Structure 1
Amino acid sequence: MTDANMTKELSLLTNIYNATHGMLNQYIVGNDELIELLVIGVLSGGHVLIEGVPGTAKTTIAKAMARITGCEFRRVQCAVDTQPADIIGVRVYDQETKEFQLRRGPVFANILLIDEINRLNPKTQSAFIEVMSERQATIDGITLDLYSPFFVIATQNPFEFEGTFPLIEAQKDRFMFSYNSHHLSGDDELEVVRREHTGALKWQPFFERLTPVMNRNTIEHIVEVTNKIRVEEPVLQYIRDLVVATRMHGDVRLGASSRASIALVRGGKAVAALQNREYVIPDDIKRMAPAVLQHRIMLEREAEIGGITTKQIIGEILDAVEVP
């Protein structure tokens, strides 16, 4: 691809992002970082985990984002008694045909919203591992490919809430990025009140007005464009140094896996693409580091008791590792 063609493609990608951001901001207040991260997830071909207290627009943003992609969307509302077959699907015996018929579960979609994923028991959580990592599902020994593209947005409540199960490490590692949503600032909360007063917060009219700005083919194309962003050797070494540093830190019991390295490469490319740049710089990697690392690092028990947070550890690593 020539420089002129790449510039044109990046301009198209930026226009898609601006259109997405503009439409979502008609309804959603104060969540620009999350909106950007979801777009980065689409460009990177990676799944996104959103943690936050109830009422912080996690599900609303996910549903609106799915609408804008123009792809097939399914939702799983998780509960303690949800079984793997409820998610993946099951073969059912048909009395008329005397044959087993396949009933596909909600994972057979392009955009899958897993709402309150940590309300699932560990057995059912594990059902998502094959789905998210290998883009396939196995039902009664039959392996089926999922749709393409396939993008998971999962929400979870803080672990101290009742009826929740901590995500198993293998499950968390399948999410390329994570985000901690919080209550709005005072000014943003006032804007919500104003919009409610004027009737601008009616969900159904807003949802019906949302116009897809992309489709399956568009998504596959912009992912391909993003993959062509250049990452020079010094930046690749910087990514390696950050990930290795998480494994060497004294307060960390389990550091980031190689999936974190892959996520930093892909996330850095997506950030560069959204800024109309054909190459990745170290600041792109630093920007993506919290979203990539925070759900992959497990602290030593002593560090947790001492009040040390994963955010602090990531900050220390970013300060300590030399920037090329």
Structure 2
Amino acid sequence: MANGQVAPAVGAVAGTYRRIEENVERVVQGKQEVVRLALIAMLAEGHVLVEDVPGVGKTLLAKAIARSIACTVRRVQFTPDLLPSDITGTTVYNAETHDWEFKPGAVFANIVLGDEINRAGPKTQSALLEAMEERTVTVDGTTHTLAAPFLVMATQNPIELEGTYPLPEAQRDRFMMKVTIGYPSAEAEVQVLTTHGAGDAAAALAPVASAADVADLIDTIRHLHAAEPLKRYVVEIVRATREHPAVELGCSPRAGLALLRAARAAAAVAGRDYVVPDDVKALARPVLAHRLIMTPDALMAATTPEVVIDDVLGRVPIPSR
């Protein structure tokens, strides 16, 4: 896409985003920022990990986004007995044709809803690594390309530890963002009773965009302008996490790429064809915090990754015009 075509296309990004956002918010009340972050991750070709206590709408958020887009959707209930082949697919012998056939797994969809991902074992969790990073699946030496767009929205419960397996660092790094929903306000909770008291409100949602629409928006966002000083700002933030005294393992270059892609999506959603430092700062927490491994001393002092990110943002100079 030529640079001269980016600016008009940004208006289409903002308009389509607004339709999807309004549709999702019909059933996810009082959580506009959470909906915004999830949609930005989708437009930035990322994946979202939704972590929160039971009953606050984690699965509902994923279902509402899936139903708002006319695309293929697969839901996976992660359990201890789930096999990697259930995720990626397997090759089976067809007695009629006397040949081997590939049977696609649950990951072959535009949107994959992974419910309670930490209930599956590490081997099954790792089956998603190639799909989330490279948009391909390799089975028996053959590589299969996944559909575009491709989004994994996974949920996990942070307080119920029995029968769960913590996500490995490599798996967490594949998620562009980790978001928490939190309890709604009193007014929003009354709206929840009104909206959902009679049944599954998400089932009544009609699509307001197609998979092709979203793919076009993603292509537009890839070409949004990010100035050289802003790219250096992203790199300095990422490097500062590695040098922070409370961090044992900081963010990788993949984290910097994710932060820049998310900032481009945020700029397009705001109707701009260029990225500003505020886009980066606003997304630093959800994009970077879950990737940090804290030192034992920091854990003892109850220093959270979010505190580290805020400290880093306060220390790294903001680029001027």
What residue in structure 2 maps to residue 125 of structure 1? 125
Q: Which amino acid aligns with 1:269?
A: R
CA distance in 2, matches of 1:25, 1:171: 29
Give the partner amino acid of 1:51: E
Q: Distance in 2 between matches of 1:8 and 1:151?
A: 26
**RMSD of the TM alignment (CA)?**
1.7
How far apart, CA to CA, are the structure 2 residues paired with 1:182 and 1:163? 23
Q: Matches of 1:118 and 1:124 in 2, distance apart?
A: 10
Q: How does 1:217-236 map to 2 (within 5 A)?
A: 217-236=212-231
2:25/2:35 contact within 8 Å kept: no
Post-superposition offset of 1:84: 0.4
> Offset of 1:292 from its aligned partner?
0.9
Q: Distance in 1 between matches of 2:36 and 2:166?
A: 26
Could you tell me which residue of structure 2 aligns to residue 18 of structure 1? 18
The one-character-per-residue Cα deviations of 1:204-259 (angstroms, maximum 9, x if unpaired) are 5x523x23222222122111111221111111111011000100000101100111
Secondary structure of the equivalent of 2:14? helix
- AA in 2 matched with 1:34: V
Shift of 1:160: 4.8
Between 96-105 and 219-228, report the one with greater CA deviation: 96-105
Deviation at 1:159, TM superposition (A): 5.5
Residue 203 of structure 2 is aligned to residue 207 of structure 1: yes
TM normalised by structure 2 equals 0.94
Q: Tell me if structure 1 keeps the 8 A contact 2:116–2:154.
A: yes
In the other structure, the counterpart of 1:191 is 191
8 Å Cα contact 2:23-2:208 kept in structure 1: no
Task: Verify: 1:149 aligned to 2:144, yes or no.
Answer: no
C-alpha distance in 1 between matches for 2:75 and 2:249: 32
TM-score normalized by structure 1?
Answer: 0.93
One-letter amino acid matched to 2:139 = I
Q: Deviations over 1:160-189 (max 9, x none)?
A: 532211101111111112112212223322
Q: 1:272 aligns with which of 264, 267, 272?
A: 267
By how many angstroms is 1:191 displaced?
Answer: 2.6
Letter in 1 for 2:123: K
Amino acid at match of 1:280: V
Comparing 211-220 with 67-76, which one deviates more in the overlay?
A: 211-220
Matches of 1:150 and 1:6, distance apart in 2: 23
Q: Deviations over 1:56-89 (max 9, x none)?
A: 1111111111121211111110001111011111
* Structure 2 partner of 1:56: 56
Deviation at 1:2, TM superposition (A): 6.1
- Residue 190 of structure 2 aligns to which amino acid in structure 1? L
Residue 296 of structure 1: aligned partner: 291
CA distance in 2, matches of 1:90, 1:78: 18
Unaligned segments of structure 2, at least 5 residues: none
Amino acid at match of 2:168: I
Query: How has the CA–CA distance of structure 1 residues 225 and 17 changed in structure 2, closer, same or farther, with 3 Å as cutoff?
Result: same
Q: What SS does structure 1 have at the residue aligned with 2:68?
A: helix
CA distance in 2, matches of 1:160, 1:247: 31
Paired residue type of 1:293: L
CA apart distance, 1:196: 4.7
Is the aligned partner of 1:305 residue 2:300? Answer: yes
Letter in structure 1 aligned against 2:176: M
Query: How many correspondences in the alignment?
Result: 318
Report the CA distance shift for 1:74/1:13 in structure 2 as closer, same or farther (over 3 A): same
1:207 and 1:153 map into 2 onto residues whose CA distance is 18
C-alpha distance 221-195 of structure 1, shift in aligned 2 (>3 A)? closer
Specify the code of the residue in structure 2 equivalent to 1:250: P
Deviation at 1:136, TM superposition (A): 1.1
Give the Cα separation in 1 of the matches to 2:138 and 2:149: 18
SS of alignment partner, residue 295 of structure 1: helix
Identity, in percent, stands at: 40
